[in-house]
Amino acid sequence: MWAQRGVNALSNSFPRPEFTNWPLCERLFSHAQRAAESILIYGIDSSEASRLCNHLGVYLSSQGRFQLALQHHELDSDITRKVHGDTHPSFAISLSNMLLF
């Protein structure tokens, strides 16, 4: 329960990874990374977890940290499939993010 709350809080706090938000993304990065680890450890499958992983992946790829970005995009894809199914547009977007690598 507490891990889910932490993931939700980070998902709501972590901004869209646009250039103007990069300083805030960097400040929140270590916390968001720990939340992503909790997603894996506790098997948290929610829209908030998916959003956090997606934003982390986009931010990391913009910083040139491609291997770590791919891991987050793969996790986002797995969560999105479980939450929304294979035919949901969000799943297609998560797959598209992985094709960039």
Give the residue from 13, 83, 93, 94 showing the smallest Cα distance to 47.
83
Burial of 89 (0-12, 13-18, 19+ CB in 10 A): exposed
Long-range contacts of 66-69 (CB under 8 A, 24+ apart): 66/101, 69/101
R_g of the chain computed on alpha carbons? 12
pLDDT band at 56 (very low <50, low <70, confident <90, very high): very high
Q: What's the pLDDT tens digit per position in 11-45?
A: 999 999 999 999 999 999 999 999 999 999 999 99
- In the 8-state DSSP scheme, what is residue 100? T
